Copies of this chain bind each other. A is one copy, B any other.
Amino acid sequence: MNITYTALLFLLLAITFSASGQEPISAITMPENLDQGKVELGKKLFFDPRLSKSGWISCNSCHNLMLSGTDNLVSSIGHQWAQGPINSPTVFNAVYSIAQFWDGRAKDLVDQAGGPIANPGEMASSHELAVSVLQTIPGYISEFNEVFDDDEITIDMVTDSIAEFERTLVTPNSRFDQWLQGDTNALTELELDGYRLFKLTGCAGCHNGPAVGGQAYQKMGSFNRFETENTAIGRQGVTGLRTDRMRFKVPTLRNIELTYPYFHDGSVRTLEEAVDTMAWVQLNRTFSRTGNEKVVAFLRSLSGDLPRIVLPILPPSGPDTPDPQPFE
């Protein structure tokens, strides 16, 4: 009842946006006031597999910056090939989310970065081990010292640096953003029709803001049941509230054509099917074939410029660096 009410509220909000002429989506802007030293250090750490117990899994393993900031797998692969419980969300534009992880259990990027390192089914290290690895790598000791003016490395410095790098992982300049910023030729009629439908039918009630999502929690299956074999319970795991069962953070739709497969269970492979499923379970609607085509065309216009990243050269381990333990 409460959840249906929320959904209706968002629908009304969407109609309001639509009628007011104010757009529910804002353009992506490049981050400002970055600490460049921290960004460069965070980039190294993001790509460094030595933050994992095996010495083989890095942040980039599941949030692959060469693909779409995800691994494009149904669910991720972790230490000793553990099967992850949920689809990896993209790291691109994650900075715009109200919280991190599908259930929002991390309040921000800094808080998030520590999770996978110590998760036995992901990187399977511990904060202590990760720090003791970094603390014995001469190149890191000097770089942390330069950035934080401190001889001792802490896990907070590690997550702070990774988060600072992740703030740079935004994707501006999509054709949709060009249109938002006044280039009336940036979108085709089909795409514009799709955007109108997206607003009128209520999609924009949840998928709004710069990331076209990430701003709220919503029940997966507000109107009709979402069939899944995935056992994730969503926000209830964080709040303990029964009413939060199956409520997940609304995912970003930026670069959505790249971040397949879709939904927290990764069960849907195509954008066409994802749109139809969402319309039905969240909005109790059935798009016509043309309607679906229009919305999908609009969604494809949300793909922006992926960041141009020079591969970092990682500093070599020292003689006292703990050995990776891939098979133990």
Interface status of A56 (Cβ within 8 A of chain B): yes
Known A-B contacts A324-B72, A326-B73; A311 and B310 likewise in contact (beta carbons under 8 Å): yes
Given B77, B80, B326, which contacts A326 in the complex, CB threshold below 8 Å?
B77
Residues of A within 8 A of B (CB): 47-49, 54-56, 61, 64-68, 71-73, 77, 80-81, 83, 257-258, 260, 269-270, 306, 308-314, 316-317, 319, 323-324, 326-327
Q: Are A317 and B260 in contact (CB-based, < 8 A)?
A: yes
Chain B residue numbers with a CB within 8 Å of A269 are: 319, 323
How many copies of this chain?
2
In the complex with contacts A64-B49, A310-B309, A55-B81 CB distance below 8 A: no
Complex Cα spacing A311 to B61, Å: 14
Q: Which residue of B66, B72, B77, B270 is within 8 Å of A319 (Cβ)?
A: B270
Distance, CA A48 to CA B66, complexed state (A): 8
Known interface pairs A73-B55, A319-B270; A311-B311 also in contact (CB < 8 Å): yes
Interface of A is mostly: loop
Pair A66/B313 contact, Cβ less than 8 Å: yes
- Determine the chain B residues whose CB is within 8 A of the CB of A270 once the complex forms: 319
Q: Is the CB of A311 within 8 A of B309?
A: yes
CB-CB under 8 A from A49, the residues of chain B are 64, 67, 71
A323 — which chain B residues lie within 8 A by C-beta?
Answer: 269
| CB-defined contacts of A81 to chain B, threshold 8 Å | 80-81, 326
CB pair B311 A65 closer than 8 Å: yes
Q: What 8 A-B pairs have minimum CB-CB distances, sorted nearest first?
A: A81-B81, A309-B311, A66-B314, A80-B81, A258-B316, A56-B77, A306-B313, A47-B66
